Structure 1
């Protein structure tokens, strides 16, 4: 359930002769002289209807010093008058009042000089219910005019409306001028800030505050995008080099073991480059196909070759890996065969 707060606010002085028409509460935004948060009464007719419907006998009490709203043991239910109707006029709610003899006497004798509305509001300041009023001697709503008589129902003067919005008594002109001057200066500064920040549309203050409170990225956790992209490229190149080195090492091992012959080079290179584990699995079980040692030739010697025979594919690979020219390799081969 929405929390409602009861507020008791005193208005300005009563006229010399009590009137049966009083100005009860402002419509729209208003402040109290005691600097409570601002209130709003945006739908006065709905509030009027609800207040009269919920009131006992459809009338609202006007008591003395709000005693009927006091704590148990301190309450005084005597009525100074009864609010029998309410209407919206000139930016405020006007109330029709039937004064009791006791209430009229208190006003005639000037024992009380102010009337104070009692209302309930939501936490956001929106007034939702008027419960009544009280005769008091401490004003808190300086924006309300002196309670009107039948001949004095004109709307508030502009200076009084401005004073009401500022929460300042209408006769404190110096304070009103100072407050308006400050607000004008603040508005000019905000316009300059908005232009400098290139803020357009919507709530400029909210947009600017959002920019000021936005956290800057932690340089320890973020790097420039250009550096990150360069690092990615370097890492990919490094991984490619490492992968190539592993492939070359696996192929070389298979050659050294005599399991990889020239006719299998293309196939073996493609397999190792694509799936090194698969190639290493093949190399582990592949038979030895080339071995120039005596043990593998079972005592038989390879057929002799002359210099005119040149080098076969395997010999060229061996010469290349040894860093020996083909001519030097041929001479060495011939010398070994002669032995």
Structure 2
């Protein structure tokens, strides 16, 4: 096995009356009371077989404070007990323990109250090997129930905390979880009552009714038809918008306000913001006026040298600082080049 991680997780308190059979680790998915990710045991029998096969003499040590697994720097690695057998019972792996005199005394004196399994897991959280355990005083697996015998009653707070996967030392968290569960139960009861179902499979009955009920054709349409209608509406809106843009541009041309040099700018503005273009067209000056005829998107007739300057041309000539004769000569030359 490669890339394995060693973990220690202190479990619930050992019983007041020392037992030779204890719960060691949960089966399935379980979380510790600290911030570590969840662990899981998928094949408990395989984990037990591998653990006992790897143990020297077929026994797993239970020490004090995990000193056996802390390296050579911890001098005292005496055993508090030896795990002689492992077995699956329900959702737990049980350990048969042969306690040493030191371990028995430490537990009877209440010097130690918790047992902490030591195991190796893959990065995925899957537990693959149990190496032993240790007597500690910091719980991290509150869901384990450590019973001295079948007849011994357990503290109900510990039972509730174990079922919820919480530590018995966190009463606020226990109350919050129980309150949430009670609220959810009340809501489910209201739903089942309204649906007229009962029994353990009430939720299944409700789901079956919801999935079996055919939709009302008067209120619903197939998704394909709805999407096709959306596409048609989008195309129609685009065509209507383009028609309005073309009409606004044509009106500006006919009014003599839109000349060829402004065509590209006007088309972009009208396509992006028709209202802004129409606002410009209302206040823009008439740039071309040929008597009773206006430009209407076409080039004006070419003037000859005999034609004088119109008002716009005189204004341009004055701003350019040229005489009328020079302006006419330049205009005639450009017309001949064209």
Per the normalisation by structure 1, the TM-score is 0.50
Per the normalisation by structure 2, the TM-score is 0.50
